[in-house]
Chain A
Amino acid sequence: MISTALIRAAEGDYVANPLIPHPWEMAAAFIGFFVLLFVVVKFVAPKFEATYQERVAAIEGGISEAEEAKAEAESLKAEYEKNLADSRAEASHIREEARAEAAQIVAEAQEKAAAESARIREQAQAQIEAERASAAAQLKADVGTLATQLAGRIVGEALEDDARSQRVVDRFLADLDAEQNRAGATQ
């Protein structure tokens, strides 16, 4: 094991230059690197690359699958929400319609009632009017005869004094009242 380095160390004055290469080390590095490169190109890198690609594909596949599922879930959710909104709108529409209908019914009923009351009032007025007319007509006829009777009596009694004529008038009126009462009772 006595070597150049030991000898040099013992000599002491020799200083190795770190920039001067050792030829056999260069050869070792050269051969070693190309053996390594060959091994890597031939055996190591292809396997690693294949595994890498396989994994990338698997992960990307998984991701795309998950994305698909997510998209599907989202579309389902959107549909559900749309349905919900639709049914809500429909419900409110129905409610609105019912309210309008109710209002209409009430309005119609009010109108009908008003018309009915108007009709009844009109009818009553017409009846009253007719009764009043018939009463007036009857009265007109009666007044004529009564006036004639009264005049006849007054003339027949021989207008002696004011007291007597007064009595005649009173009796006539009382007769008239009694007659009127009788007529009312028979009616």
Chain B
Amino acid sequence: MRGPALLTLALRAADGGEFQPPSINDTHLPEILPWGVEWGEGFLGKNGLVLLVSVVIIWAFFSFAIRKQSLVPTRTQFIGESIYAFVRNSLGRDILGEKHFKPWIPFLFAVFTFILVNNLMGAIPVIQMPSFSHAGPAYVMAAIVYCTWIGVGIQKHGLRYFKLVTIPSGVPWYVMPVMIPLEIISNFIVRPLTHSLRVMAVMLAGHMIVMIAAAGSEFLVTQQDNIFLNATGIIVLIGFVPLYFLELLLMVLQAFVFALLTAIYLQGAIEADSH
């Protein structure tokens, strides 16, 4: 499934003669363009390429889908509009509220589709690369959202925003020394970390399952002389199929959760004074 990785796995297996499960190391593929290695990493790996290709895919698909703007949609237009309407109504209108959601539709749409397509890249054979299984893209997306909602909060409420967020209303004064640090930690430190690590951890786990299933079945089928052990390798592949569909569900779900949290954080910043 993953050429170079499997090459290394096979090599190791052949060396030791016993099965070595794939590790985190194997999630980092060789660089396609090996420039910039002197800064520690290559310039463009498979993951970076997938990230950039996903932008082109989203752009091309949605531009193609809406090229006619007809009232009676074609199938492609219908799919595009369904995704747009989902982001617009379920993420935008229902969470941000009728008054504020309009300007945020493109942002939520970009966040949702970007993560969705990058996650689904992990389910496409040969590509098989969920970009957000690497921490970097997840951190970047969480950081963009983090800066956005803080910026919105300051724009709406000025510096009073930090007071609104950290000092809960309706709480007796003697609880304040505990509440204020907790609010600061939960809102400004834990929130972006969980926001990024949630999607990253789920995608990494799914990616590891793919790798372990691939490496394990390959090892059992090609490196063992016993016909029964070869057969168990096939069973591993069959058992992987339901996991693949579970993974597919999780990919969509994580994209939804990420965009949903984005909308919730934005809503909290826009209406910081109302709760």
Contact = CB atoms under 8 A, between A and B. Distances in A.
B137 A26 contact: yes
Contacts of B34: 3
Contacts of B27: 16, 18
A179 B177 CA distance: 157
Interface in B60-109: 62-63, 66, 69-71, 80-81, 84-85, 88, 105-107, 109
Contact of B25 (A2, A14, A25): A14
Q: How large is the interface on B (under 10, 10 to 19, 20 to 34, 35 or more residues)?
A: 35 or more
B105 A24 contact: no
A39 B59 contact: yes
Nearest to A3: B30
Contacts of B43: 24
A24 B69 contact: no
Contacts of A32: 51-52, 54-55, 114
B24 A21 contact: no
A167 interface: no
A2 B141 CA distance: 31
Chain A interface, DSSP helix/strand/loop, else mixed: helix
Given A4-B31, A5-B29, A16-B24, A22 B136 contact: yes
A51 B66 contact: yes
Q: Which 9 A-B pairs have the closest CB atoms?
A: A3-B30, A21-B136, A29-B137, A28-B48, A25-B136, A26-B136, A45-B106, A29-B140, A48-B84
11 contacts: A4-B42, A14-B25, A16-B23, A18-B24, A18-B204, A23-B40, A30-B144, A36-B114, A39-B58, A52-B84, A55-B71
Interface of A: 1-6, 8-10, 14-33, 35-37, 39-41, 43-45, 47-52, 54-55, 58
Interface of B: 4, 8, 12, 23-31, 34, 36-37, 39-45, 47-49, 51-52, 54-55, 58-59, 62-63, 66, 69-71, 80-81, 84-85, 88, 105-107, 109-111, 113-114, 131, 134-137, 139-141, 144, 197, 200, 204
